[in-house]
């Protein structure tokens, strides 16, 4: 009951946030975003044709009316149709979001998991050559751009100049084996880049936890290092880990990964969102921005609930 | 333990999600091994496959394979020549050139689709063609091709003004009977047949348009050689249209030239009816490294343009274009100029460098423009950005059209710094009084490099670098808006030919086409306009070519544009593919004739 009340309270409190985000983003879209009119026009347009397209796009309506329509669309989850393809935005997102999720989830999970494990390993040997090596490698991983990592991994694992074990491009998945063939190289690239950031972040959290009194006491009582790390440290680090992980989820769900999708020819939501931004495809853009705002509110609620699970002392009140 | 349970759950969920979120592109490789699959790569992706919105070259490639047009370009003829497509024969044209009577082939069927009763494609009739052209004059379809027929077909503009009622007849666009189209023009339009070979004029069934509404752009239904199986941001998959008519391939009729085309093995297709493939996959790949990796993989992309960054790695020589032996063993190659060109023009609406009410300043402005043109180093531009493969030419009639004049003086594309400096000095231009030249471009590394090179050229003639400024636009749509609104004093762009007739490029400077039309130079020369109007109604002839060339010279003399360069396309394909790639002017029509061993 307490949980339900808390969730409802937070949802209500999130409404102004959603209004704020949608209003500002819509303002930017309308006054500073690309004008789709000129993307849709033919080669030798007349003033009349320009006016017709603007009218078709609803650009001739007052700002307030357009914003009201947007809020209505968000409330009903009916964002109309893509101005580029004519496809229903809901169908477009339903088709592409699962692809992006399937593409980035393994990299996200493994990147965080290995990040925590390496951070535990490094922090427990703070100052040793192991720690320095892991941190050095993390810095290297952070220094290499995602784009370079993608090209390098594609070259090494997929191309005929390298091992050629995996497809260069495509997403024809009909079995778990197909999935592994197509997702492995993008996942390796993702993990390679994410690992540096994650390891450094988690190590900092763990090092701080290791210096706390209860850890020193446990050591004094002769508790094994493995038990100290897994029971006394990791559990107490759960809150910053949860925060980092849960707040990354909205980006993963909506943004996908543009670079992975374009280089590996994967039809996810990242490319759809990018095209919408660069061409001023407002129905898609409105859906992406609006849903991201909603997901952030939900992520915030989920984070608070998980705090409570991780640490019963945390009050939902 | 709990952690491993979590990992297991996530892994299993991902696998399930992935399997349910599979690309509906169809079969896995294993399943298609015994079928003829061809993968072709394009450097960009289409957005809509509705013919009324097929303005971009990428959309046109798919549209020309899914739909039929009344006329097509012959597969092998170079330069391009028209042949009947959906039409039974070339049209019967009245003596005054105003009435075209076009017979249609009988028994041609649309591809099977749920939009038709029983899911069976019905016969294509003249009424379908009339309906398809009408759609360009219905604002609700957001058409891009109306400019081709606007003010040219009797009653069409009035039909639109009256509310685009599809049940209303149009005097100049009629289905005389199910197999005869009659087009009546307001004035002779010699380019009409070319427009009937463009994707814009592709024939669509009203039932499918009504069934799918705006989604017709992703669920196109036509009578072309292929039908669309799936389409997304990464690729399009096409399967043969089982209803496609039986039209045996005829080498002679297609314009076969054994001297230049024998190596392609296209002669092996003689007598067979296209399409020859079981599956056509078109990948949209913008990234050169990914394209090259996929092309050289062996079981992925089989035909693609050579990415710029691989030119030195792959070619032994660029003049002539020759592959290195290790690549020549595995791949075939074809080169050819693109159907279009790149150029920059001054916007003469700006009195600082364009038309000025003061006659003296007007003359000085012209001298300034001429100096800028003579400062431009085309060979350097060609070497820096086009691997030296581009073809530089004076004026705006590019090599891809029959009216191209190889003998035209090349002064306007020959750099002469001393002459340019003298021009400036003779006309009173000094570094202090030179106007600021704003160069607009879409934000990007290559665009920036273009600008910096241009600024360096100008610096050599004494144009202060701080007076050559860059104005960046976030998207192509934004810069098109600036061109259309005449907001940019200097416009740098490319033009893709819609048909092989110089009228298509000369109209870029025709007065009535001023902004927001395609004349974004806002060139206004009554003599030029009069010649354009005179030539516009003339059939191809030496006399018309002479007029075109006279207009071309006017543009050079008036120093309107820094022009031009036609880029060279290098296409590579695997040895097991039988194909002759075509340039963008004919869309992707060649794909219906591709075969693989």
Cβ atoms B443, B413 nearer than 8 A: no
β-pair type (B226-231, B180-184):
unpaired
Of the pLDDT bands very low, low, confident and very high (cuts 50, 70, 90), residue A256 is low
Return residues 158-187 of A near B (CB < 8 Å).
Answer: 158-161, 164, 167-176, 178-179, 183
Q: How many CB pairs below 8 Å do chains A and B form together?
A: 211
Sequence-ordered list of residues with C-beta below 8 angstroms from that of B579, at least 6 positions apart, any chain: B264, B266, B303, B573, B590, B593, B594, B595
Residues of chain B with pLDDT under 70: 1-33, 583-584, 586
The sheet that has B391-392: what strands, in order across it? B391-392, B561-566, B340-346, B490-496, B437-442, B468-473
Residues of A in contact with B147 (CB under 8 A): 42-45
Using a CB–CB cutoff of 8 Å, tell me whether A50 touches chain B. Answer: yes
Categorize the per-residue pLDDT at A317 as very low, low, confident or very high, splitting at 50, 70 and 90: low
- Write out chain B residues lying below 8 Å of A167, CB-based: 297, 300
Using the structure block, give the residue that is written with the tokens 């080669």.
A43
pLDDT, position A179: 94
pLDDT in tens, A208-222: 888 888 888 988 888
Residue of B nearest to A157 (CA): B293
Locus of tokens 């009988």: B106
Q: For residue B128, what are its two tokens?
A: 């379908």
CB B397 within 8 A of CB B506: yes
Structure tokens at A62: 């007052």
Residue A212's pLDDT is what? Answer: 87
Record: contact A173-B21, CB cut-off 8 A: yes
Dist CA A274 CA A262 (whole Å): 11
Residues of B with CB below 8 A from A39's CB?
A: 475-477, 480
Q: How far is CA A209 from the centre of its chain?
A: 27
Question: Residue B563 forms beta bridges with which residues?
Answer: B343
pLDDT for the residue B6: 46
Backbone angles phi, psi at A160, to 5 degrees: -70, -15
CB contact under 8 A, B19 and A174: yes
Contact A34 B475 (CB under 8 A): yes
Rounded to whole angstroms, the Cα distance separating A234 from A220 reads 19
Q: Using CB atoms, pick whichever of A49, A101, A267 lies closest to residue B234.
A: A267
Alpha-carbon span A143 to A134, nearest angstrom: 14
Task: Report which secondary-structure segment, H or E, holds B210.
Answer: helix B206-212
Q: What is the pLDDT of residue B398?
A: 95
Probe site for chain A from B19, B20, B23 (most A CB atoms < 10 A) = B23
So what's the pLDDT on residue B25?
Answer: 45
User: Is B21 at the interface with chain A, CB within 8 A?
Assistant: yes
Are the CB atoms for B277 and B240 separated by under 8 Å?
yes
Residue A237 binned pLDDT confidence (cut-offs 50, 70, 90): confident
What is chain B's Cα-based Rg? 26
Strands lying side by side in the sheet with B331-337: B226-231, B235-240, B279-284, B37-42, B303-305, B568-574, B331-337
SS3 B116: coil
The H-assigned helical ranges of B263-402 are 288-297, 311-314, 325-328, 359-375, 378-386
Q: Is the confidence at residue A12, as pLDDT, over 90?
A: no
The C-alpha angle with vertex B442 and arms to B440 and B445, in degrees rounded to 5, equals 110
State residue B5's pLDDT score. Answer: 53
ipTM comes to 0.85
Query: Partners of A79 in the beta sheet?
Result: none
Which residue has 């710029």 as its token pair? Answer: B308
**Residues contacting B386, CB < 8 A, separation 6+:** B308, B565, B567, B568
pLDDT at B9: 52
Residues in contact with A121: Cβ distance below 8 Å, sequence separation at least 6, in sequence order: A130, A134
Q: What is the mean pLDDT of chain B?
A: 92
Average pLDDT over chain A reads 88
Rounded CA-CA distance A186/A177 in Å is 15
Give yes or no for a contact between B233 and A267, defined as CB atoms under 8 angstroms apart.
yes
CB B358 within 8 A of CB B441: no
Calpha distance A140→B302 (Å, rounded): 37
pLDDT-based confidence at residue A255 (cuts at 50, 70, 90):
low
Q: Does A196 touch chain B (CB under 8 A)?
A: no
Residue with tokens 């307030």: A64
**For residue A195, pLDDT beyond 80:** yes
Give the Cα separation of A208 and A204 in Å (integer): 6
Averaged pLDDT, A113-118: 93
User: Using a CB-CB distance cutoff of 8 angstroms, which residues of chain B are in contact with residue A238?
Assistant: none
Pairing of strands B577-578, B561-566: unpaired
Q: How far apart are CA A312 and CA A294, in angstroms?
A: 27
With beta carbons under 8 A apart, name residues in chain B contacting A184: none
Contact A98 B475 (CB under 8 A): no
Radius of gyration of chain A (CA): 24
Taking the mean position of all CA atoms in its chain, how far away is CA B333? 21
């Amino acid at each position: 009951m307490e949980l339900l009340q808390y969730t409802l309270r937070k949802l209500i409190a999130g409404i102004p946030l959603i209004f704020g985000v949608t209003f500002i983003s819509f303002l930017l879209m309308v006054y500073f975003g690309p004008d789709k009119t000129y993307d849709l026009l033919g080669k030798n347009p007349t003033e009349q044709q320009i006016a017709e397209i603007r009218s078709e796009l609803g650009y001739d309506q007052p700002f307030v009316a357009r914003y009201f329509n947007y809020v209505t669309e968000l409330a009903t989850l009916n964002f109309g149709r893509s101005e580029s393809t004519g496809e229903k935005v809901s169908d477009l997102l339903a088709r592409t979001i699962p692809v992006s999720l399937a593409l980035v989830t393994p990299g996200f999970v493994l990147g965080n998991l290995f990040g925590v494990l390496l951070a535990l390993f490094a922090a427990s040997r703070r100052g040793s050559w192991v720690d320095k090596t892991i941190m050095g490698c993390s810095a290297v991983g952070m220094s290499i751009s995602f784009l370079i990592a993608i090209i390098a991994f594609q070259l090494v694992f997929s191309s005929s100049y390298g091992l050629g074990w995996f497809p260069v491009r495509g997403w024809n998945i009909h079995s778990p084996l197909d999935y592994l063939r197509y997702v492995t190289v993008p996942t390796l690239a993702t993990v390679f880049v994410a690992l540096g950031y994650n390891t450094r972040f988690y190590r900092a959290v763990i090092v701080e936890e290791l210096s706390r009194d209860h850890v020193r006491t446990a050591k004094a009582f002769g508790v094994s290092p493995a038990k100290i790390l897994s029971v006394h440290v990791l559990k107490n680090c759960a809150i910053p880990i949860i925060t980092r992980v849960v707040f990354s989820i909205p980006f993963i769900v909506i943004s996908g990964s543009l670079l992975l999708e374009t280089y590996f020819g994967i039809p996810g939501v990242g490319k759809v969102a990018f095209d919408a931004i660069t061409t001023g495809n407002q129905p898609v853009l409105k859906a992406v921005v609006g849903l991201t705002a909603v997901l952030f509110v939900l992520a915030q609620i989920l984070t608070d609930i998980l705090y409570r699970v991780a640490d019963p002392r945390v009050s939902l009140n | 333990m709990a952690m491993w349970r979590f990992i297991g759950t996530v892994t299993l969920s991902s696998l399930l999600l992935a399997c349910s979120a599979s690309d509906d592109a169809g079969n896995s490789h294993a399943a298609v091994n015994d079928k003829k699959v061809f993968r072709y790569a394009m450097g960009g992706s289409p957005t809509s496959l509705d013919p009324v919105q097929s303005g971009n070259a990428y959309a046109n490639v798919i549209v020309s394979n899914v739909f039929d047009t009344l006329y097509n370009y012959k597969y092998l003829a170079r330069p391009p020549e028209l042949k009947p497509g959906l039409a039974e024969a070339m049209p019967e044209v009245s003596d005054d050139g105003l009435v075209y009577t076009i017979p249609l082939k009988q028994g041609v069927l649309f591809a099977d689709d749920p939009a038709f009763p029983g899911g069976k494609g019905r016969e294509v009739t003249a009424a379908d063609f009339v309906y398809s052209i009408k759609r360009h004059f219905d604002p609700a379809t957001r058409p891009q091709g109306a400019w081709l027929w606007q003010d040219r077909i009797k009653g069409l503009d009035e039909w639109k003004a009256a509310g685009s009622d599809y049940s209303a007849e149009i005097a100049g666009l009629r289905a005389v009977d199910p197999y005869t189209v009659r087009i009546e023009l307001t004035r002779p339009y010699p380019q009409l047949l070319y427009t009937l070979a463009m994707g814009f004029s592709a024939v669509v069934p009203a039932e499918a348009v009504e069934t799918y509404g705006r989604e017709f752009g992703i669920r196109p239904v036509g009578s072309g050689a292929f039908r669309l199986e799936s389409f997304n941001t990464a690729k399009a998959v096409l399967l043969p249209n089982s209803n496609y008519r039986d039209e045996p391939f005829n080498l002679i009729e297609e314009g076969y030239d054994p001297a230049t085309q024998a190596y392609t093995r296209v002669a092996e297709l003689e007598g067979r009816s296209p399409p020859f493939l079981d599956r056509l996959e078109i990948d949209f790949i913008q990234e050169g490294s990914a394209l090259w990796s996929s092309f050289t993989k062996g079981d992925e992309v089989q035909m693609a343009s050579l990415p710029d960054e691989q030119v030195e790695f792959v070619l032994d020589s660029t003049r002539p274009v020759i592959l290195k032996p290790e690549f020549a063993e595995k791949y075939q190659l074809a080169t050819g100029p693109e159907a279009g060109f790149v150029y920059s023009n001054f916007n003469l609406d700006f009195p600082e460098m364009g038309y000025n009410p003061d006659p003296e300043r007007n003359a000085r402005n012209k001298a300034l423009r001429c100096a800028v043109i003579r400062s431009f180093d085309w060979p350097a531009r060609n070497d820096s950005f086009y691997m030296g493969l581009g073809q530089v030419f004076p004026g705006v009639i590019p090599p891809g059209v029959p009216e191209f004049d190889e003998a035209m003086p090349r002064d306007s594309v020959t750099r002469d710094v001393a002459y340019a400096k003298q021009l400036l000095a003779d006309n009173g231009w000094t570094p202090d009084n030179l106007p600021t030249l704003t160069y607009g471009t879409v934000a990007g590394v290559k665009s920036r490099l273009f600008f910096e090179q241009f600024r360096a050229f100008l610096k050599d003639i004494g144009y202060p670098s701080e007076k050559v400024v860059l104005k960046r636009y976030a998207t192509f749509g934004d810069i098109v808006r600036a061109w259309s609104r005449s907001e940019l004093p200097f416009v740098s762009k490319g033009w893709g030919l819609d048909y092989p007739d110089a009228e298509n490029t000369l109209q870029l400077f025709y007065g009535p086409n001023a902004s927001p039309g395609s004349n974004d130079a806002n060139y206004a020369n009554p003599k030029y306009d009069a010649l354009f109007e005179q030539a516009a109604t003339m059939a191809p002839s030496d006399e018309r070519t002479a007029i075109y060339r006279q207009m071309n010279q006017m543009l050079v003399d008036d120093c309107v544009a820094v022009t031009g360069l036609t880029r060279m396309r290098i296409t590579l394909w695997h040895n097991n593919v039988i194909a002759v790639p075509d340039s963008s002017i004919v869309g992707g029509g060649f794909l219906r004739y591709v075969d693989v061993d």
